């Protein structure tokens, strides 16, 4: 684990470990991947404003989201096919999150059931649904999650249809996938070049047989492409059916945040699906202030997309987010080393947050506000010159 110093290290290890088609599924975005890149660039264009002459001791990074205490303001976002990244899969992710004092959201297509996650991890756990399968399917999944003790439901709004993932198209991995001999041969070639991944999956052969069967079912289904999108009336219906906390994910405008609140959402997640839905949509950080202003203190606001360092977390919280979600970073950690890899990623964010707040002179995440930020390049005037005419 000492070789994983930051998220980029885990990303490189994941690239070397996973079959190319699986890594591209995790890594890729929609179309030209403009929004994918903008999510990260937006954080780079905001600077932190440190205060000098202040010794904050050990700054506080704990918070509370929807009444649930968190040791740090970082959730683990839902990710489909997580079980294929490493045999530890969604259970390992949930255990890592719980051990760190935070929460992992289980994707409906993580290839691991809510019952298994609840049975094998201490929780608390949250579940994610989308509109595929219609209300009957959503009601069935909500009932299973509630019966398993899940306390939060994340409702994904930005699809169907899914975005145009051209990396997946080139690999033949766009549902409904046809398992032709040519496709099987191409996939087998990729798997053969990743012995570490193949060995890990083979050791857990019994469970992986079920995982591969579930993955085949998901990839061969066209349900996400043909299902109707959620409407605000659907959110009202879900609110009446779901007993726990309700979060609406995929909000990018203030008007939609208000609509989500009025439909019964306890929180909104500012998200463009990690650049995987509508390419050309704005970065999440750029629209965060609008959404915070729109809902005020009536609804908690969270954010995902492009968060690779704790400095990104601090910037998001300064602009009004209650907490953030990370997706690709924990998947890299899972692929690199299973549950310990996910634990390492969370620890990196924790340590970076403490260090960042110390360097800023900020005593607690609750003290963050826009005054801690400025544009990275605010000065546009002429720089002073020396008598010899050279720029200082």
Mean pLDDT per 10-residue run, the chain (392 residues)? 93 96 95 98 97 95 97 97 92 98 95 94 96 93 97 94 92 74 79 88 72 66 73 98 98 98 98 97 98 96 98 98 98 97 98 98 98 86 52 37
With a CB cutoff of 8 Å and minimum separation 6, the contacts of 335 are: 10, 13, 14, 17, 18, 23, 26, 85, 86, 197, 341
CA–CA dist 54, 51 (Å, integer): 7
82: tokens are 């997580």
Residues in the chain: 392
CA–CA dist 286, 262 (Å, integer): 23
Q: Could you tell me which of 267, 338, 372, 343 has the C-alpha nearest to residue 72?
A: 343
Q: Could you tell me which of 105, 5, 37, 47 has the C-alpha nearest to residue 314?
A: 47
Question: Is 273 one of the catalytic residues?
Answer: yes
364: tokens are 């607690």
* Residue 331: per-residue pLDDT: 98
With a CB cutoff of 8 Å and minimum separation 6, the contacts of 125 are: 94, 103, 104, 106, 114, 117, 118, 148, 149, 150, 151, 152
CA–CA dist 159, 157 (Å, integer): 6
Q: Could you tell me which of 230, 210, 207, 229 has the C-alpha nearest to residue 218?
A: 210
Specify whether the CB–CB gap between 310 and 61 falls below 8 A.
Answer: no
Specify whether the CB–CB gap between 72 and 100 falls below 8 A.
Answer: yes
What b-and-e string marks burial along 152-168, b requiring 16 or more CB atoms within 10 Å of the CB?
A: bbbbbbbbbebbbbbbb
Q: Could you tell me which of 4, 3, 21, 12 has the C-alpha nearest to residue 193?
A: 21
Half-sphere exposure for 161 (CA within 13 Å, toward CB): 11
Q: Is 288 exposed, middle or buried (0-12, 13-18, 19+ CB in 10 A)?
A: buried
CA–CA dist 70, 63 (Å, integer): 5
Specify whether the CB–CB gap between 305 and 288 falls below 8 A.
Answer: no
Distances (CA, A) of 287 to 74, 269, 361: 19, 12, 27
| 86, 165, 171, 273: the active-site residue | 273
Specify whether the CB–CB gap between 314 and 366 falls below 8 A.
Answer: no
* Residue 379: per-residue pLDDT: 65
């Amino acid at each position: 684990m000492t070789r994983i110093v930051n998220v980029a290290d885990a990303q490189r290890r994941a690239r070397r470990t996973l079959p190319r088609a699986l890594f591209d599924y995790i890594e890729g975005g929609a179309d030209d991947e403009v929004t994918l890149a903008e999510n990260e660039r937006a954080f780079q264009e905001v600077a932190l404003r440190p205060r000098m002459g202040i010794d904050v001791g050990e700054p506080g990074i704990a918070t509370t989201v929807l009444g649930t205490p968190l040791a740090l303001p970082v959730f683990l976002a839902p990710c489909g096919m997580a079980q294929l990244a490493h045999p530890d899969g969604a259970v390992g992710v949930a255990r890592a999150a719980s051990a760190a004092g935070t929460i992992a959201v289980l994707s409906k297509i993580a290839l691991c059931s809510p019952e298994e996650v609840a049975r094998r991890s201490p929780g608390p756990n949250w579940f994610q649904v989308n509109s595929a399968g219609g209300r009957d399917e959503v009601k069935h999944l909500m009932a299973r999650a509630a019966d398993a003790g899940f306390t939060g439901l994340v409702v994904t709004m930005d699809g169907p249809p899914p975005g145009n993932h051209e990396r997946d198209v080139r690999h033949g991995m766009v549902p409904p996938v046809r398992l032709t001999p040519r496709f099987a041969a191409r996939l087998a070639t990729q798997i053969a070049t990743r012995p570490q991944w193949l060995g890990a999956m083979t050791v857990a052969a019994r469970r992986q047989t079920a995982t591969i069967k579930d993955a085949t079912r998901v990839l061969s289904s066209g349900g996400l492409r043909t299902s109707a999108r959620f409407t605000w009336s659907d959110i009202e219906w879900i609110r009446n059916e779901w007993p726990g906390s309700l979060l609406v994910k995929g909000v990018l405008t203030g008007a939609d945040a208000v609509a989500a609140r009025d439909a019964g959402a306890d929180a909104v997640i500012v998200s463009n699906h990690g650049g995987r839905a509508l390419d050309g949509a704005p970065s999440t950080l750029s629209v965060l202030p609008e959404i915070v202003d729109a809902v005020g203190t009536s609804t908690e606001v969270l954010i995902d997309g492009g968060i690779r360092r704790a400095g990104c977390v601090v910037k998001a919280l300064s602009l009004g987010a209650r907490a953030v979600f990370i997706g690709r970073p924990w998947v890299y950690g899972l692929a690199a080393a299973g549950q310990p890899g996910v634990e390492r990623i969370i620890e990196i964010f924790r340590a970076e947050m403490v260090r960042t707040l110390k360097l800023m002179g900020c005593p607690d995440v609750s003290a963050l506000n826009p005054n801690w930020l400025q544009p990275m390049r605010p000065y546009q005037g002429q720089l002073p010159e020396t008598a010899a005419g050279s720029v200082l």
